[in-house]
Structure 1
Amino acid sequence: MKTADAVIIGAGVIGSAIAYELSRAGRSVLVLDRGRGPGQGSTSASSAVVRFNYSTWTGVVTAWESKHRWEAWEDYLGGRDGGRLARFHRTGGLCLDSPNQSAEKVLGLFDQVGVPYEVWSPEDLRLRLPLVDTGRHYPPKPVAEDAFWDEPTGSIGGYWTPDAGFVDDPAFAAHNLMVAAQRLGASFRFGATVTGVRKEGGRVLGVTLDDGTRLDSPVLVNAAGPHSGVVNELAGALEDFRITTRPLRQEVHEIPGVTAYSPGVPLVADLDLGTYFRGTPAGNILVGGTEPECDPLVWLDDPDDTSLTPTQEIYEAQTYRVARRVPEATVPPRPRGIVGVYDVSSDWVPIYDRTSVDGYYVAIGTSGNQFKNAPVVGELMARLIGAVEDGQGHDTDPVQVPLAHTGHVADLSHYSRLRTPAATSGTVMG
């Protein structure tokens, strides 16, 4: 007996968004998650940045469309969640010049998509954002090396996007999506671990849980974050994937804010030094890394086999770089931060696609840069599933999704498992 029209594995912000959009499309939905609630995995460790500077047209379009949904979050969800909602803070965002990401290419994409921006010279930067030092330090260097403290080799500017910002509570954003989906009839089951994917004749039949429960559904969606690889193996669906995924351990830290700068700290992407940072609602500074070549990446064979305690080494690497860029910043001696695990694709672009197993779909490889896109990803996946289940051959006739706010059309072949790896920054910047 069919349990639901669609079963989704993973109740993070991506899985919950898919649940909401499938429910809006009239499907009965069951979401399974081994955690205690929505958004308790990698979503809870997200910096929840909303930016638009991707290396591809579809990446920019998806992010720009998503911004409009974050701005009208209550309208998009069709109601509130216990009296409150996650909130989008529009702070503006600065991307400093760096060879790691071509400003000319990104700004050309902005022009095509319609993303507003301003190009700032070093002099503009000193005037408009005086808390930021304009020294050029490229390439990024390990903070333990003497060369890290060398004097700047020149000055840099960048480009400013006034519509960038962040969402104040990423886990609660997933909760908002869950409640919105539940209003439309979706069910969520927590503490549920999938141990088997049942198939017959090349098509999904359902899943088996660790307690032996068998759940039947003609559609199964893998949105399991860093555990997505395990689910893919259970489904036996990897035979034609040209893009691979791996779990990557990441840390994000928090330091005191700069009280002398009253507007608050905006979003700053600093590939010149290898870091990014933004303000927080409490007035602190949230700090993360951009995977500079000088920093070793912590790849994991098992996403559960890692310490969730922030390390002194990574804390110093991230915060000392911010202190070079923001001389008034204070770096306490001990780390205060969180640890998360990214589900990273081989080109840092996600896979939103069908698979060779009929009825089995994936929303994986989100690479630490897709939280902002969740509202649109939910729609992309719902449209993809609807089209393929109705007989469209997506692998040869890619699904096209019109986007309501911007008027653009998203070509979902961009997110195909069969694609040639995209030419991106090779980092979280996408």
Structure 2
Amino acid sequence: MSDPLPKTIDAVVIGAGIIGASMAYHLTEAGLGVLVIEKEQLPGTGSTAAAAGGIRAIFDNELDIRYALETRAAMPTFEERFGWKPEFRRHGYLYTARRESTLDEYRRDADAGIKCGTGARMLTPEEVPEIAPILDMSGIVGAMFGPEDGYCDPYGVMMGFLSAARKNGARISYRTQVTGVKTEGGRVTGVATNRGEVSCATVVNCAGPFARKVAAMVDLDIPARPHRRYIFVTGPFPQVPKTNPLVLDQDNLFYFKPESGTVIMSGMEEEPDEPDDTAVRWERSEGVAEKALRCASVFSEAGFARAWAGMRTLTPDRRAILGPTPVDGFFLACGFSGHGICQCVPAGRVVAEYITKGKSEDLPIEPYFLSRFEEPQEG
């Protein structure tokens, strides 16, 4: 159900994907009146719908790890709190390495995780088949395993946040296109849409692959570029157990995971493109099939039944952009570089805290500021 546009509201959230949903919930929890504006007729039809749903706490730095750990920790009680099942399956993440240099990177990631309690550990080639017996071990020199990680249903998480935000009084307007962000004296005063104008003092850009276009409405050029990635789905394939971890074959640029009796797999492409061009190039399936066979010869028995493409919005350092901008009242929660599902819980919370209190309470937000991309000034 779409709500009518109010004449005035405290905050406007642009985008009703999983990040916009988290943002709306946390802003309403802080006591703000919130309007979520979504250009499509349903929520979560963009990057959220195309996501594989992975939730992992393995990163190369402590802050990203802490953000992901908060999301992971929220999954077991999510349904109780929000009324929607996240369908979190704690089957683990298995990172295989074919090069010693990759294995060294994994060791550093595992060491960083030990400090934060991720549970990640290194595996010898002899231990890998105990976790994923279907893999071909030729060329595998070792692996890293995150047993507490897994994958979820992004739609359930998004709808949990949106439902809770509605209960808190949030309004959601679908089929509504933001055509401009109104400012006066360097600060936000409202938004213009195809259905009318709304006065507000705060706008949060959660527009995913369209975030750069929204930022341009206030003359900001943010380094968040949409890149297409494909996911191919096999027909029924019981050869991969439903408890198999998500396997990421880094040096083969390939991952797969079981899903409802099928297998989801990707060649981990990063093709820059326009944010609304999600057409599937079926010729890419040949390369994915080759990578799948290198990873596990059992995939010679599989065939692709369907596929989709989604946009990952990448930043130069592959980290999200959160927080304020030079335009007073215009905030960002975008550029998650494929980690939006992993970081959706704290991302909404810390930005809402910054908006309402001028700071985030426990997790630092400053390292995610847009200002980190500014050119250093000489002299």
The reply to whether TM is greater than 0.5 is yes
CA distance in 2, matches of 1:298, 1:263: 30
The answer on whether the counterparts of 1:33 and 1:190 sit within 8 Å (CA) in structure 2 is yes
Distance 1:177 1:197, change over 3 A: same
Distance 1:286 1:260, change over 3 A: closer
Which aligned pairs between 1:28-427 and structure 2 lie closer than 5 A? 28-77=33-82, 80-81=83-84, 85-97=85-97, 98=99, 99-100=101-102, 102-136=105-139, 155-167=140-152, 169-211=153-195, 213-238=196-221, 244-256=223-235, 258-260=237-239, 262=241, 264-280=243-259, 282-291=260-269, 297-300=270-273, 302-304=274-276, 306-308=277-279, 310-330=280-300, 332=302, 336-388=306-358, 399-402=359-362, 410-419=363-372
CA distance in 2, matches of 1:339, 1:311: 9
Secondary structure of the residue aligned to 2:323 is: strand
- Give TM-score, length-normalised by structure 2: 0.91
CA distance in 2, matches of 1:289, 1:170: 21
Structure 2 counterpart of 1:181, one-letter code: A
The equivalent of 1:142 in structure 2 is: none
The answer on whether the counterparts of 2:107 and 2:122 sit within 8 Å (CA) in structure 1 is no
The answer on whether the counterparts of 1:40 and 1:171 sit within 8 Å (CA) in structure 2 is no
The answer on whether the counterparts of 2:235 and 2:303 sit within 8 Å (CA) in structure 1 is no
Which structure shows the bigger proportion of residues in helix conformation? 2
The answer on whether the counterparts of 1:348 and 1:367 sit within 8 Å (CA) in structure 2 is yes
Distance 1:104 1:195, change over 3 A: same
Distance 1:184 1:330, change over 3 A: farther
Deviation at 1:206, TM superposition (A): 0.4
CA distance in 2, matches of 1:323, 1:130: 15
Distance 1:256 1:335, change over 3 A: closer
CA distance in 1, matches of 2:156, 2:190: 29
CA distance in 1, matches of 2:275, 2:360: 34
Count of residues paired in the alignment: 366
Structure 2 counterpart of 1:92, one-letter code: G
Deviation at 1:335, TM superposition (A): 5.7
The one-character-per-residue Cα deviations of 1:204-224 (angstroms, maximum 9, x if unpaired) are 00000023x010110000000
Deviation at 1:67, TM superposition (A): 0.2
CA distance in 1, matches of 2:144, 2:233: 25
CA distance in 2, matches of 1:278, 1:257: 13
Deviation at 1:318, TM superposition (A): 2.2
Deviation at 1:129, TM superposition (A): 2.3
Structure 2 counterpart of 1:90, one-letter code: R
Secondary structure of the residue aligned to 2:327 is: coil
Structure 1 counterpart of 2:137, one-letter code: T
C-alpha RMSD over aligned residues: 2.0
Structure 1, gaps ≥5 residues long: 137-154, 292-296, 389-398, 403-409, 422-430
The answer on whether the counterparts of 1:134 and 1:157 sit within 8 Å (CA) in structure 2 is no
The answer on whether the counterparts of 1:255 and 1:330 sit within 8 Å (CA) in structure 2 is no
Distance 1:338 1:331, change over 3 A: farther
Distance 1:341 1:416, change over 3 A: same
CA distance in 2, matches of 1:2, 1:319: 53
CA distance in 1, matches of 2:26, 2:294: 44
CA distance in 2, matches of 1:229, 1:331: 42
Secondary structure of the residue aligned to 1:122 is: coil
Deviation at 1:420, TM superposition (A): 5.5
Distance 1:356 1:108, change over 3 A: same
The one-character-per-residue Cα deviations of 1:111-139 (angstroms, maximum 9, x if unpaired) are 11111123210011133421111222xxx
- Give TM-score, length-normalised by structure 1: 0.80
The answer on whether the counterparts of 2:58 and 2:118 sit within 8 Å (CA) in structure 1 is no
The one-character-per-residue Cα deviations of 1:132-179 (angstroms, maximum 9, x if unpaired) are 11222xxxxxxxxxxxxxxxxxx3221111111111x32332122111
Distance 1:9 1:128, change over 3 A: closer
Structure 1 counterpart of 2:323, one-letter code: D
Secondary structure of the residue aligned to 1:133 is: coil
